[in-house]
Amino acid sequence: MEEARRTGNSKPAVRTLALKEGLKGCSLFFFFSPETLARYPSLKYLWGIGSELVPYDTLHLFLCNVVPRLWELFIGENDKLGDEQPWVISKVVCEAVGRDIKVGRKTVPLSQARSLRDICKHSGSYKAVDWLYFLLSVGEVVLADRIPEEYFNTFMLLCRAGRLLFKPSFMTEGELQEADRLIKRFCHAFYTHVYAGKADRIRVCRPTVVVLLDVTANLRSCGPAWSFWQLPTERLPARSLVSYDQDAFRTLR
């Protein structure tokens, strides 16, 4: 699209291209505008390396970006999309889902109960570990027969991929290929049913959805998702991190 602008294509031609590709403007991840290149010169080295050697935190990509944004879209919280947003979960259904999740608190150990808060009321304060529990353990049960089949199947593709990617052990080549196949099917379903080629929905095509296509190549280069996700770092007290940074600085000096 940036190339189309530089070559003097008309605005309708650029708009048609944007609708076809499902992207509006330039992506910070994939195609950098001249303005972006000038604004962030320090990132030139990382852009040159490419996505396969610069690891994404797969868990947080899934659970702090993709899954929460899907939930917001499905329950109609993204007002910027107006009437064209893929609003598929009514308020009554959302409240029923929240009650079902909350009831489950009494049936699991205390360490897991925190993730079983009413999602209708508390989704905004869900952490990555809460969305992980929803994606892998809860969502399939509470969403079945409550949302249109095409959206439920789209969610299940992401769920099945997560069960392969986030298990606390090594991945076989076959599992990696299966996860890659599921992610590609999820992206295809997302663009088919959620974006649906509608001009007013082009803003749902966020770069983080497309980044999912890099996940398996990223894991093949860097190892299993659990080997470099940031959860262990988040458990360290802030004071310990400051102390560590000061010690590292003295060593460098």
Q: Please indicate, yes or no, whether residues 37 and 74 belong to a single structural domain of this protein.
A: no
Q: Is residue 129 part of a domain?
A: yes
Q: Please indicate, yes or no, whether residues 25 and 80 belong to a single structural domain of this protein.
A: no
Confidence tier at 164 by pLDDT (50, 70, 90): very high
Q: Please indicate, yes or no, whether residues 40 and 66 belong to a single structural domain of this protein.
A: no
Is the per-residue pLDDT at 235 higher than 70?
Answer: no
Burial of 135 per CB tally in 10 Å (0-12, 13-18, 19+): buried
Q: Is residue 253 part of a domain?
A: no
Q: Please indicate, yes or no, whether residues 241 and 129 belong to a single structural domain of this protein.
A: yes
Angle, helices 215-222/173-189, rounded to nearest 10 degrees: 160
Burial of 131 per CB tally in 10 Å (0-12, 13-18, 19+): buried
Q: What is the pLDDT of residues 99-122, one digit of tens each?
A: 999 888 888 777 778 788 899 888
Report for 45-49, 94-98, 185-189, 217-221: range of highest mean pLDDT: 185-189
Q: Whole-model pTM?
A: 0.73
Q: Please indicate, yes or no, whether residues 232 and 122 belong to a single structural domain of this protein.
A: yes
Q: E strands, the chain, where?
A: none
Range of the domain at 39: 1-47
Q: Is residue 33 part of a domain?
A: yes
Q: Please indicate, yes or no, whether residues 69 and 12 belong to a single structural domain of this protein.
A: no
Q: Is residue 173 part of a domain?
A: yes
CA nearest neighbour of 185 among 206, 155, 142, 207: 155
Per the model's pLDDT, the better-predicted residue between 155 and 85 turns out to be 155
Q: Please indicate, yes or no, whether residues 7 and 83 belong to a single structural domain of this protein.
A: no
What percent of the chain shows pLDDT beyond 70?
Answer: 76
Q: Please indicate, yes or no, whether residues 100 and 184 belong to a single structural domain of this protein.
A: yes
Q: What is the pLDDT of residues 26-63, one digit of tens each?
A: 655 555 667 777 887 877 776 676 655 566 788 888 98
Q: What is the average per-residue pLDDT within 75-89? A: 65
Long-range contacts of 170-173 (CB under 8 A, 24+ apart): 170/224, 171/219, 171/224
Looking at the 3D structure of the chain, how many domains does it have?
A: 2
Quick one: DSSP state of residue 117? S
pLDDT of residue 207: 78
Q: Please indicate, yes or no, whether residues 94 and 173 belong to a single structural domain of this protein.
A: yes
Q: What is the pLDDT of residues 117-148, one digit of tens each?
A: 899 888 888 988 899 989 998 999 999 998 88
Separation CA 131–CA 115 (nearest Å): 8
Quick one: DSSP state of residue 202? G
Separation CA 5–CA 25 (nearest Å): 10
Q: Is residue 226 part of a domain?
A: yes
Three-state SS at 89: coil
Is the per-residue pLDDT at 174 higher than 80?
Answer: yes
Write down which residue in 47, 66, 85 finishes a domain.
Answer: 47
pLDDT of residue 153: 94
Q: What is the average per-residue pLDDT within 64-69? A: 90
Q: Please indicate, yes or no, whether residues 130 and 24 belong to a single structural domain of this protein.
A: no
Q: Please indicate, yes or no, whether residues 186 and 244 belong to a single structural domain of this protein.
A: yes
